[in-house]
């Protein structure tokens, strides 16, 4: 069974139901029920027209729910919701649904979950597994998002920046579970890129591809985190890199620079370097300057300090770090790295241990703990 095709059909089917007058929340529930039924029945009995099958099944699910909730008006509903006849219109509602799921009334977390359901076609169980939370918890999150949309004017969709941020949040959730969220984010962003000529959408797609190309080299045995400088570059996916660079070059040629294009340019410079030692850090610092100008982000300022340390030496990096808020996540780890390169091993070891204690993920904590142990071993030798 082609689950990818099933997911690609979901936005169009949802759009058909909404255009027929179904409330968004009720339509989305009906489409999900149709998807579950398709997963059960299609392997043994595939339909001749998958989209029409989904529309018909979802529409009947919607009718059943509507009649159940208003049984005392059954006669009127039977007329009002009589299924339209004729072919299913060939309309692509993906772009509209992206923006609807990024509605201003929703928090980023709710928008992510709703995007995965309404546009990604994932079931609640799949989303919950990918996020490593109980299915009931994810069901509540999605239900809350749909309740927040209830009664909201659907002519107030989220802005493009919100849509892209939601997709990037999905990508950054990483890999695992029944659904690879990084791969799913790439699939969704490809869909969006075909529906709009916004260079920032292309920039986000390029950024995802360039990061995803390094996936196989990012972890070692037992899930051990492998820093960029130590990764086996022969394991990088050169086809994804080439595709990402081509998409990025086309976007940059539009001369409408944005933050995702800028981040992709930095990722492309890393991907282009045959070895870590040959990385063009000077140009990376220049791109970080552009990114800082665009965003003013403290995280960008922190990452820029690392790049400055590589381009101009650890003392220059520490000077750049002096303008960064010490309370920022990863600040202590970055300071430890720069101090190690500057030769202050005792302080660096203590800072690595402190950063490990504050780490929010097991791989990161273990990596920083090993760094502290490595330097202390050097001090003893």
Chain segment 333-354, per-residue pLDDT in tens:
999 999 999 999 999 999 999 9
- Check whether 68 has a pLDDT greater than 90: no
Q: What pLDDT does 237 receive?
A: 97
Rg value, the chain, Cα: 24
- Check whether 190 has a pLDDT greater than 50: yes
Angle formed at CA 253 by CA 100 and CA 163, multiple of 5 degrees? 15
User: Rounded to whole angstroms, how far apart are CA atoms 90 and 177?
Assistant: 33
User: Rounded to whole angstroms, how far apart are CA atoms 262 and 268?
Assistant: 10
CA distances 43 to 1, 47, 125, Å, are 5, 10, 20
Residues 6+ apart with CB under 8 A from 269: 279, 280, 283, 284, 287
Distance of CA 8 to the CA centre of its chain: 17
User: Rounded to whole angstroms, how far apart are CA atoms 36 and 18?
Assistant: 19
Q: Is 176 left (phi over 0), alpha (psi -120 to 50) or beta?
A: left
Q: Where are the domains of the chain?
A: 3-80, 92-132+148-196, 204-212+234-272
Of 90-104, 135-149, 363-377, least confident by mean pLDDT is 90-104
CA distances 223 to 217, 317, 322, 361, Å, are 11, 30, 33, 12
- Check whether 179 has a pLDDT greater than 90: no
- Check whether 305 has a pLDDT greater than 80: yes
H-type alpha helices, 196-258: 199-212, 238-252
pTM, to two decimals: 0.82
DSSP structure class, residue 153? -
Mean pLDDT of the chain: 88
Q: Where residue 20 falls among pLDDT bands split at 50, 70, 90?
A: confident
Q: Where residue 195 falls among pLDDT bands split at 50, 70, 90?
A: confident
């Amino acid at each position: 069974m082609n689950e990818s095709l099933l997911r690609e059909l979901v936005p169009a089917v949802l759009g058909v139901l909404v255009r027929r007058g179904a409330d968004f929340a009720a339509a989305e529930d009906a489409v999900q029920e149709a998807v579950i039924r398709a997963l059960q029945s299609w392997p043994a009995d595939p339909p001749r027209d998958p989209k029409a099958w989904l529309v018909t099944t979802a529409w009947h699910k919607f009718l059943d729910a509507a009649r159940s909730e208003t049984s005392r008006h059954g006669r009127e509903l039977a007329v009002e919701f009589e299924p339209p006849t004729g072919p299913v219109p060939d309309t692509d509602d993906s772009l509209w649904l992206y923006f609807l799921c990024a509605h201003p009334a929703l928090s980023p977390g709710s928008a992510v979950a709703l995007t995965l359901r309404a546009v990604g076609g994932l079931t609640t169980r799949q989303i919950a597994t990918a996020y490593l939370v109980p299915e009931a918890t994810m069901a509540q999150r999605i239900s809350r998002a749909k309740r927040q949309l209830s009664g909201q004017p659907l002519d107030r969709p989220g802005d493009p920046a919100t849509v892209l941020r939601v997709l990037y949040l999905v990508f950054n959730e990483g890999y695992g579970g029944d659904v690879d969220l990084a791969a799913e984010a790439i699939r969704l962003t490809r869909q969006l890129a075909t529906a709009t000529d916004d260079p920032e959408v292309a920039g986000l797609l390029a950024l995802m591809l360039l990061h995803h190309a390094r996936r196989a080299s990012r972890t070692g045995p037992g899930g051990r985190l492998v820093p960029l400088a130590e990764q086996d570059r022969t394991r990088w996916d050169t086809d994804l890199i080439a595709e990402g660079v081509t998409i990025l070059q086309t976007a940059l040629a539009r001369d409408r620079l944005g933050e995702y294009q800028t981040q992709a340019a930095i990722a492309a410079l890393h991907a282009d370097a045959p070895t870590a030692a040959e990385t063009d850090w000077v140009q990376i610092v220049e791109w970080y300057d552009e990114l800082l100008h665009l965003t003013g982000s403290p995280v960008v300022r922190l990452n820029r300090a690392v790049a400055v340390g590589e381009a101009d030496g650890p003392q220059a990096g520490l000077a750049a770090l002096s303008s960064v808020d010490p309370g920022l996540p990863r600040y202590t780890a970055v300071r430890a790295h720069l101090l190690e390169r500057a030769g202050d091993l005792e302080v660096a070891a203590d800072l690595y241990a402190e950063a490990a204690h504050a780490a929010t993920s097991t791989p990161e904590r273990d990596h920083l703990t090993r760094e502290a142990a490595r330097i202390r071993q050097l001090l003893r030798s």
